[in-house]
Amino acid sequence: MTRRDLTFDDVLKAAGAYEIQDRLERLSPEPASTGCGCGSSGGCGSSGGQTLLDKPLDRRRAIGTLFGALAVTTQAMGACAPGPDSAEEREAKRLAQEEYFKGNYRVMTEAERADTVRRLERLAELRGQGDVSIRTDQAVPGALYGYAFNISKCEGFRNCVDACIHENNLDRASDQQYIRIFEIEEGSSIDALDHGDATYGHSVPAEGHFYLGTQCFQCANPPCVYVCPVQATWQEPDGIVVVDYDWCIGCRYCMAACPYWARRFNWDEPTVPAEEVNPRQHYLGNRARKSGVVEKCTFCIQRTREGRQPACAEACPTGARVFGNLLDPDSEIRWVLENKQVFRLKEDLGTEPRFWYFMD
Amino acid sequence: MTRRSYAIIGTVWVAAAAIAVFGTLQRRAVAPGTLDALESLDARGRAPASFEGTDSLPSALQGVSVEAVHDGWEGPGGRPFLVVSRTAEGSNPRVRTIGRETYPLTLRLDGAPVVGDCASCHEGQQSAGARLDAADAIHQNIQPVHPSRAETECAGCHVEGRVDRLRGDRGQETTFTHAYELCAQCHFNPVESWAKGAHGKRLVAWRGDRVVFGCAECHDPHRPATEPRAPYAGPSLPESLHSEEHGDSHGEAGTTGAAEHGGRP
């Protein structure tokens, strides 16, 4: 046959995929207990190939099937001569492999989202992260979140940072933090942000200084989203800019594009002590990240979509943080914007942050 | 018609208008069902149904006691809002609740149980001009520097003979949980910001009923300024989770890792 005549089906046949798939299906309910997979239940026939053809087969799924089938066959062979892997380890490997071939969150169907959530929750359990629950709540209708930060009130205690780390399961090993509180000398301009001290350790508030906190501003015109080459980050209808951690390729273009240094990169797999893992998670929020992907503040999407306040606003001991719905004319955030003198950082860039600073 | 009858008609009209306006204010003060909702919040320690979407209270609200409904004050958009106090079980160790009133725990000797309500000692006593000094064993934790050390007199805010009640400068009496009414006599700008949501903070949730703490929940009324203290230093990692490559980067107070992630502050 000529190259042109070669179909994808031929490729699969040549690779023995149907046979492997057939074995896989016989094995899959109880891979640990079947002994040598092709034994008792009627030979390694070719009927299973038809089963595979009945399903809609795209490239991604076919490759996934190939790899999965190879992996399981290897495991089945290992089962004949028992290897070191326990049933749980094999399950974790299988789930991780299925996770690897899933799609971008935005093009998943409801069923696919439910599947991946089930896999991720089970993986967290297998990996000793406890009984986590991962939600995929959509944006609250009629909500557009805004944030205001009172630089007259902030005293630099960093309770917000503490709350953020624990709420969002941030990496403890590298001291990952979404929020930075800058100590700035009174009388200096806001350009002092370039020279402000975000690493102070002395007793606060320090005489003659004020404090200004930054985090992701959820810009209405987000440069980080435009530069992503794989559409792994986008803005949700409620204004929150999110990252699909499983679609991010770790190129860090978004970090270069953000004028506020709001994004963070995981050089290693984040380390969180098992007893400190926050089990209330959102797929686009505080679920477990992996090495080599970018993450960021999401206004605590797992909390705000339930109606709760972001952890930083809840933890602030001075009441310097105001969070609310910009579309509600009776909200506190709207009162602040209409009655206080407010400014935003680097307004001239046109990023339109939904994060304002104000003074008493 | 005589000038006198004009005056009578005018007076009656003004009085009727005043009554109507007053009645409207009274009705607006509390939304229907709101007080019931708060009662259930106190009793069960859970959010009532009106706090949609919250199935448990944030840690700051554990042990919260509903003490006051904001009467005649309005939040943003003219909406009423609710003021709550913390109980002894709450995260603020300075106050405890006896019955339906809260008392500062400054009325306590170190290591000794709470003395009780103020009236157990002060009932009927005339204490005009009384002040606290450093030698006062019962009130040793109270450091009355507000409004100023020279001017602070117990009777400036407390009702003589019944110090668990407060009296404003127009003679109006109120309880500790309504202390914001006294604060507002001088600090009208901060109190306006508090009522409208720019100062203090919204508890429980960003939507639904607005619930806030009163002034004295965060500010010690006898010493309202924030005390300087050490900032949060950063996460503490159990020794077992320290890897060698992380050993060096961990431990600096509050660094964000920014220096290694791009070299900017």
Structurally, at CATH architecture level, domain A145-358 sits in 2-Layer Sandwich (3.30)
Q: What is the pLDDT of residue B108?
A: 31
Rounded Cα–Cα distance for residues A278 and A298 (Å)? 15
Q: What is the pLDDT of residue B110?
A: 36
Please report the beta strands in A17-102, taking only residues with DSSP state E, as ranges in sequence order. none
pLDDT digits (tens, 9 = 90+) for A158-207: 989 999 999 999 999 888 999 999 999 988 877 767 778 888 889 989 99
Q: What is the pLDDT of residue A16?
A: 60
B199 → closest Cβ in A153, A182, A200: A153
Would you say B213 and B64 are in contact if contact means Cβ atoms under 8 Å apart?
no
Q: What is the pLDDT of residue B179?
A: 81
Q: Inter-chain contact A334–B76, Cβ cutoff 8 Å?
A: yes
Q: How confident is the model at residue A30 (pLDDT cuts 50, 70, 90)?
A: very low
Between A196 and A284, the higher pLDDT residue = A284
For the segment B229-237, the average pLDDT, to the nearest whole number, is 76
For the segment B127-140, the average pLDDT, to the nearest whole number, is 60
Q: Does the pLDDT value for residue A92 go beyond 50?
A: yes
Would you say A27 and A34 are in contact if contact means Cβ atoms under 8 Å apart?
yes
Would you say B231 and A157 are in contact if contact means Cβ atoms under 8 Å apart?
yes
Task: Fill in the amino acid letter for A140.
Answer: V
**One-character DSSP codes across A5-35:** T--HHHHHHHTTHHHHHHHHHHHTT-TTTSS
Q: Does the pLDDT value for residue B251 go beyond 80?
A: no
For the segment B136-147, the average pLDDT, to the nearest whole number, is 66
The count of C-alpha atoms lying within 13 angstroms of the C-alpha of A193, restricted to the half-sphere facing its C-beta, is 15
Q: How confident is the model at residue B139 (pLDDT cuts 50, 70, 90)?
A: low
Tokens of B1: 């018609």
Domain boundaries, chain B: 32-218
A264: chain B residues, CB-CB within 8 Å: 257, 261
Q: Report the SS3 class of residue A135.
A: strand
Rounded Cα–Cα distance for residues B190 and A85 (Å)? 64
pLDDT digits (tens, 9 = 90+) for B70-104: 556 788 888 877 777 654 333 344 444 333 334 44
Q: Inter-chain contact A177–B206, Cβ cutoff 8 Å?
A: no
Q: Does the pLDDT value for residue A17 go beyond 90?
A: no
Claim: this prediction has a pTM higher than 0.90: no
Q: What is the pLDDT of residue A51?
A: 43
Q: What is the pLDDT of residue A358?
A: 96
| Beta strand A233-235 pairing with B101-104 | unpaired
Cα-trace Rg, chain B: 24
Distance in Å, alpha carbon of A234 to nearest chain B alpha carbon: 22
Distance in Å, alpha carbon of A188 to nearest chain B alpha carbon: 17
Query: Chain B contact for A172, CB < 8 A?
Result: yes
Identify whether B80 is preceded by a cis peptide bond (ω within 30 of 0). no
Q: Inter-chain contact B232–A340, Cβ cutoff 8 Å?
A: no
Tokens of A236: 């949700």
Q: Inter-chain contact B198–A150, Cβ cutoff 8 Å?
A: yes
Q: Inter-chain contact A306–B253, Cβ cutoff 8 Å?
A: no
Q: Does the pLDDT value for residue B238 go beyond 70?
A: no
pLDDT digits (tens, 9 = 90+) for A235-254: 999 999 999 999 999 999 99
What is the average pLDDT score of chain B?
60
Between B209 and B157, the higher pLDDT residue = B157
Q: Inter-chain contact B256–A316, Cβ cutoff 8 Å?
A: no
Burial-class residue A305 by CB neighbours within 10 Å (0-12, 13-18, 19+). Answer: buried
Q: What is the pLDDT of residue A161?
A: 93
Burial-class residue B130 by CB neighbours within 10 Å (0-12, 13-18, 19+). Answer: middle
Distance in Å, alpha carbon of A303 to nearest chain B alpha carbon: 9
A265: chain B residues, CB-CB within 8 Å: 261
Domain boundaries, chain A: 8-101, 145-358
Rounded Cα–Cα distance for residues A76 and B227 (Å)? 66
Q: Inter-chain contact B206–A304, Cβ cutoff 8 Å?
A: yes
Distance in Å, alpha carbon of A324 to nearest chain B alpha carbon: 6
Mutate one of B256, B261, B264 to test the A interface: name it (highest A CB count within 10 A).
B256
Task: For chain B, give the percent of residues with pLDDT over 70.
Answer: 35
Report the Cα A196 to chain-centroid distance in Å: 30
pLDDT digits (tens, 9 = 90+) for B3-53: 776 766 766 666 555 555 444 433 333 333 333 334 333 333 333 333 333
Q: What is the pLDDT of residue A120?
A: 95
Q: Does the pLDDT value for residue B244 go beyond 70?
A: no
Q: Inter-chain contact B237–A195, Cβ cutoff 8 Å?
A: no
Q: What is the pLDDT of residue B160?
A: 75
What is the average pLDDT score of chain A?
83
Interfacial A residues in 292-321 facing B (CB < 8 Å): 304, 306-309, 313-319, 321
For the segment A74-97, the average pLDDT, to the nearest whole number, is 73
Q: What is the pLDDT of residue A128?
A: 87
Q: What is the pLDDT of residue A37?
A: 40
**One-character DSSP codes across A224-272:** HHHH-TT--EEE-TTS-EEE-TTT-----HHHHH-TT--EEE-SS----
Q: Inter-chain contact B256–A315, Cβ cutoff 8 Å?
A: no
Distance in Å, alpha carbon of A307 to nearest chain B alpha carbon: 5
Q: What is the pLDDT of residue A59?
A: 55
